[in-house]
Amino acid sequence: MDYKIVIDASHGGDDIGNSANGIVEKDLMLQISNYMKDRFESMGIPVIMTRETDEIITPEERVEKIMNTYGDNSDVIILSNHVTSGGGAGAEVVYALRNSSALSNLILEEIENTGQNTSLPYQRRLPSNTRKDYYFIHRDTGEYTQPVMIIYGSVNNPDEAAKLKNSALEYAEAVVKAVMQYIGKPYISQDMNQNGIESNAYVVQNGDTLYQIANRYNTTVAELKRLNQLTSDNLQIGQVLKIPTVSKEQKDSLYTVKSGDSLYKIASIYDTTVSELMKYNNLSSNLLQVGQVIRIPTVNSRDTYVVRSGDSLWNIARKFNITVDELKRKNNLTNNLLQIGQVLKI
């Protein structure tokens, strides 16, 4: 199934929700909802929000937005974010009468892993009609969608409020992780995205090619294939690719082709040659595409030099910090005449 996520930042505008100990529900919930949206999108999952700004949105408008966008389908997961002013039992999840508790259990497990207290997930019925859900987010969102109301903690309880202030995004991340697990898509942790060796994992999205991904991350198709042990250029949506981390030094030796560039121009900027660039980048032609990343050979990596117009043994020797005699000896040269295109060992 191609799951879609609805993130419901509860309350908004004059409806501030629960408020105590420096926490205002509408604001904190918008903050964590925005966070979740970015996280899901970074892993290629479609997301809509019921509100993105501090405004009043009625339950009817929320339901309409969800139904008009994704319809009444079982691949629609609705995450309604709240805090409570009662209790103090930690995080709670309320699920719909029509659904199982599977998703809710995963969410609470992950939240518990962050150190927050949790209780068992539950359903809540309308007192006037016990066949119906108590909350509109369950009751009015069709027969197939999977809505959960997540209550992260109680703002009245000073300990809980302090936890919420410090760890709200951690709880949000826990929900993201649980949902990814539930929908069976690869989860990429936030830490991995921000730093460290594995920091640059990328989830392949519809329409991606190795070439585009290589350009986006300042690397090459060959490098991506090597790192991911790919034997072909075919990608699958949802596939997780390792992206090489690029040191500052390496970054300096990468050049992104701009409109009007030629290999000749780039070679002259970096004091190298077209044939050297072609060899170093495994290029079979000298046609470039805008956005293509070219590796620039560093002096150490060069063991050969292709003679260019205007070169002399003297300037080549100086360029590589060797003597003319050494250069001649290494290349068995009997005189000082060079030909353009001649390859010298350095």
The token duo for 124 is: 């809540």
Binding mask 27-66 for Zn ion (x = CB under 5 A): ----------------------------------------
Binding mask 232-271 for Zn ion (x = CB under 5 A): ----------------------------------------
The window from 75-83, 161-169, 237-245, 280-288 that contacts Zn ion (CB under 5 A) reads: 75-83
Minimum Å distance from CB 178 to Zn ion? 20
Minimum Å distance from CB 292 to Zn ion? 50
Nearest residue to Zn ion, by Cβ distance, number only: 82
CA dist 69 and 307 (Å) reads: 63
Please list, residue by residue across 148-157, b when 16 or more beta carbons sit within 10 angstroms of its beta carbon and e when fewer do: bbbbbbbbbb
Which residue, 7 or 317, is less far from Zn ion as judged by CB? 7
Conformational region of residue 282, where left means phi above 0, alpha means psi within -120 to 50, and beta covers everything else: left
CA dist 143 and 199 (Å) reads: 40
Minimum Å distance from CB 243 to Zn ion? 39
335 three-class SS: coil
CA distances from 314 to 17, 110, 168, 307, 324 (A): 79, 68, 66, 12, 6
The token duo for 192 is: 């991995």
Within 10 A of 249 (CB to CB), how many other CB atoms are there?
Answer: 8
Which residue, 50 or 215, is less far from Zn ion as judged by CB? 50
Which residue, 17 or 153, is less far from Zn ion as judged by CB? 17
The window from 4-12, 158-166, 192-200, 324-332 that contacts Zn ion (CB under 5 A) reads: 4-12
Which residue, 17 or 244, is less far from Zn ion as judged by CB? 17
Which residue, 7 or 344, is less far from Zn ion as judged by CB? 7
Minimum Å distance from CB 79 to Zn ion? 13
The window from 5-13, 71-79, 167-175, 183-191 that contacts Zn ion (CB under 5 A) reads: 5-13
DSSP letter, residue 311: -
Residues in contact with 128: Cβ distance below 8 Å, sequence separation at least 6, in sequence order: none
The window from 30-38, 63-71, 81-89, 199-207 that contacts Zn ion (CB under 5 A) reads: 81-89
The token duo for 92 is: 């709670």
Q: Which residue has the tokens 């050979």?
A: 297
Strand partners, 19: 24
Which is nearest to 117 in space by CA: 168, 160, 56? Answer: 160
Total interface residues for Zn ion by CB under 5 A: 3
The window from 76-84, 121-129, 250-258, 269-277 that contacts Zn ion (CB under 5 A) reads: 76-84
Which residue, 82 or 177, is less far from Zn ion as judged by CB? 82
Minimum Å distance from CB 266 to Zn ion? 57
The radius of gyration of the chain's CA atoms, rounded to the nearest angstrom, is 29
The single residue among 37, 62, 82, 138 that binds Zn ion, judged by CB under 5 A, is: 82
Which residue, 82 or 139, is less far from Zn ion as judged by CB? 82
CA distances from 37 to 109, 173, 191, 279, 338 (A): 21, 11, 17, 44, 62
Which residue, 36 or 43, is less far from Zn ion as judged by CB? 36
Which residue, 104 or 219, is less far from Zn ion as judged by CB? 104
Touching Zn ion, residues 6-25 (CB under 5 A): 10, 17
Q: What is the DSSP string of 239-308?
A: -EEE-----HHHHHTEEE--TT--HHHHHHHTT--HHHHHHHTT-SSS---TT-EEEPPPGGG--EEE--
Minimum Å distance from CB 17 to Zn ion? 4
The window from 77-85, 168-176, 237-245, 288-296 that contacts Zn ion (CB under 5 A) reads: 77-85
Which residue, 19 or 117, is less far from Zn ion as judged by CB? 19
Contact residues toward Zn ion (CB under 5 A) are 10, 17, 82
